Amino acid sequence: MLKKLMRKKTADIQLLDERMEAVKNRQIPNHVAIIMDGNGRWAKQRKMPRIAGHHEGMKTVRQITNFANAMGVKALTLYAFSTENWKRPRIEIDFLMNLPGEFLNTYLPELMEKGIKVEMIGDMDALPSHTKNAIMKAIEQTKDNKGLVLNFAMNYGSRVELVHAMKELAEEVAAGTLKVDEVNESSIGSKLMTAHLPDPDLLIRTSGEVRLSNFMLWQLAYAEFIFTDVLWPDYDEDCFLQAIEVFQKRDRRFGSLEGDQKR
């Protein structure tokens, strides 16, 4: 029985490798954004506390980050904590604020080895000092890495981001350094937290929810959306590969009549 299971596992790995090679020969999304949802439900199904689901979800972050890097994805933005998540119970918030330190302290050597660069979008000043320090340490130590950009959306809300961008532009107009006619898509995009990154090509949301939840509202204008019922702790390499395979079958016209147009 054990030998049979081992043969099946080997066959599954070989099949995954073959699919990976096939996918790499087609267009890989440069930037993938993920709304990591379902940690609490995963724990509830197993009669465990919600924080157990968040801890398991952290392992998935590592797994998907490494796989995305191996697939040639240039940037991976993960919605880790929204501006609305402060409404959750204090014990859960405290646990979530400890996760970045645990994750980054544990996996930083691996991130360095794989050339992965850590970044963050969101209001860092409002985070607890230990959370902020862990993130800043990882950003500083990985800043010269040339591989995947692992971008955490932490204490992030897209509407707040857009308000800040509008205020910056309004101040420049008021100061006379920017003309009203120069306020356009390009100038707005330049004020966003992701100004240095390409807009996401693909958005994935786990757990069966079908909404954006105030996540990258401007940047996702032309992204392909994939919603899955799989809970985040159960999301694995096969799920991610399936998402890219679906992405590659989409006809992306960006308003034109011809497919595969670059934006």
With 70 as the cut, is the pLDDT of residue 50 above it?
Answer: yes
With 90 as the cut, is the pLDDT of residue 135 above it?
Answer: yes
CATH superfamily of 27-157+198-243: Decaprenyl diphosphate synthase-like (3.40.1180.10)
List Cα–Cα distances, 146 to 116, 118, 143, 210, in angstroms.
7, 11, 9, 33
Residue 172 marked ligand-binding: no
Residue 26 marked ligand-binding: no
Residue 38 marked ligand-binding: yes
- Which tokens sit at 13? 């790995």
- Which tokens sit at 236? 């694995």
Residue 46 marked ligand-binding: no
% residues pLDDT > 90 (the chain): 88
β-bridge pairing 149-156 and 31-35: unpaired
Mean pLDDT score across all residues of the chain: 93
Residue 31 marked ligand-binding: no
Of the residues 30, 85, 98, 214, only one is catalytic, namely: 85
Whether 85 is a known active-site residue: answer yes
Whether 251 is a known active-site residue: answer no
Of the residues 17, 25, 30, 37, only one is catalytic, namely: 37
Q: What is the pLDDT of residues 142-184, one digit of tens each?
A: 999 999 999 999 999 999 999 999 999 999 999 999 999 999 9
Strands (E), the chain: 31-35, 75-82, 117-121, 149-156, 202-205, 224-227
Residue 84 marked ligand-binding: yes
Q: What is the pLDDT of residues 77-116, one digit of tens each?
A: 999 999 999 999 999 999 999 999 999 999 999 999 999 9
Q: Could you tell me the sign of the dihedral formed by the alpha carbons of 204, 220, 211, 128, in that order? A: positive
What's the pTM? 0.91
Residue 83 marked ligand-binding: yes
With 90 as the cut, is the pLDDT of residue 139 above it?
Answer: yes
